Structure 1
């Protein structure tokens, strides 16, 4: 068991004995297509994300935000460069290793929610634990805890179609936390929500950093939401152009 330290968010986070950040990105390049028609999504991107922080990526559509999140999450591979997540070099993992990483150590939150329509909120949250074959009693307790964390304890038996957009995104956040990941990756999680609901969802992510001790990397185009981040990285034309 590692000792705990406190991140900028004021929460206790697991301390890596090596003192390494949660995310290390070095000279990342990713292009799509070949020849004159090739699209250079990322051009030599480098940055670190300390443990226990909420770091926001901003940039216009096409700036490379989603490409970068997919690479850090092990959903895609770079043409050049190196990515280390929670001390693991992704380039050293085969498909099975990447699958285990995504299942056990990374939670994903998407703009489209991605909930299963025929399942209740509780059943949707429990899906990752079923895939991991978690003990049923432990799974039920974790589901109850997470729905309470996101403010939906009274909506456990409702299906996605019976919930508002903000409530559906809260269920998606609870599901992303199901297997106690070290890292949450969120791609425009407020993109389908109105301003007030989007701000509430971002405040929830901020609270999750404190209560669960996770690290969050979130892409957003909403300037109002950037103030909730510990740090902001701006992408433009495949480059990091600003740290704040």
Structure 2
């Protein structure tokens, strides 16, 4: 696991060179629809995520968690306010710049796993590196390291349908880390898993933050999982109503 230490050290050095938090959200508003039928998903949300921390976002269904994650990840644009990720103002990026940011500096993990059924675990993990045309040797070494990191070194050749739900989510986490992102965004990553498996996946995310030197913003409603976060933000009806350190 020496490679893991080297990767983590490199990420830590990068974090030291950069200034400010990994994520800064300022007075964020997002609505859907118009007039009386408008749904105000976010109402003036502001917060920061320090580098190297795992911050959990808690809130009931419909509180605005997914909308907020989509805005932080550059998958949607706010009506008002500003999002800064890794010292980059998302509003200043054009379409190509946004695509590069999502490809190279942000990793996404979703509740539905999102793996490609016809590809093996190793091929799924290596796909982001193929998209940026990384050399074959680099891809192979990184895939091997990541599958070892998530405890699936012996399952590289298996396809998603041959893996359990927890194993699939571990593959999804490894894929999200393929291009060494600065920020990992996870939307209810344990939502389809039983309690024991969900806890093991959340513990893996906790370990990934330390090993890979990545910052994580994770939406979850499971009280048991919230205890693994460095900080918890409470989202209620589109507003941050509480934040606590763990």
Is the 1:86–1:182 Cα contact (8 Å) retained in structure 2?
Answer: yes
Partners in 2 of 1:14 and 1:141 — Cα distance?
A: 22
Other-structure match for 1:213: 213
By how many angstroms is 1:95 displaced? 1.1
Partner SS, residue 201 of structure 1: helix
Is the 1:56–1:231 Cα contact (8 Å) retained in structure 2?
Answer: yes
By how many angstroms is 1:15 displaced? 2.7
Partner SS, residue 240 of structure 2: strand
Partner SS, residue 43 of structure 2: strand
Matches within 5 A, 1:90-239: 90-239=90-239
Is the 2:64–2:235 Cα contact (8 Å) retained in structure 1?
Answer: yes
Other-structure match for 2:84: 84
Listed as ranges, the gaps of 5+ residues in structure 2 are 1-10
Is the 2:25–2:46 Cα contact (8 Å) retained in structure 1?
Answer: yes
Residues 51-94 of structure 1: CA distance to partner in whole angstroms, max 9, x if unpaired? 00000000000000000000000000000000000000000011
Return the structure number with greater helix share. Answer: 2
How many residue pairs align between the two structures? 234
Partners in 2 of 1:116 and 1:225 — Cα distance?
A: 27
Partners in 2 of 1:49 and 1:122 — Cα distance?
A: 31
Partners in 1 of 2:73 and 2:19 — Cα distance?
A: 21
Is the 2:19–2:87 Cα contact (8 Å) retained in structure 1?
Answer: no
TM-score, with length taken from structure 2: 0.94
Q: Could you say what the CA RMSD is over the residues aligned between the two structures, in angstroms?
A: 1.0
Partners in 2 of 1:188 and 1:13 — Cα distance?
A: 30
Partners in 1 of 2:166 and 2:18 — Cα distance?
A: 39
Partners in 2 of 1:28 and 1:131 — Cα distance?
A: 32
Other-structure match for 2:29: 29
Partners in 2 of 1:17 and 1:194 — Cα distance?
A: 40
Is the 1:14–1:213 Cα contact (8 Å) retained in structure 2?
Answer: no
Other-structure match for 2:240: 240
Listed as ranges, the gaps of 5+ residues in structure 1 are 1-10
Other-structure match for 1:5: none
Moved over 2 A (4+): 11-19
By how many angstroms is 1:13 displaced? 5.8
Partner SS, residue 81 of structure 2: strand
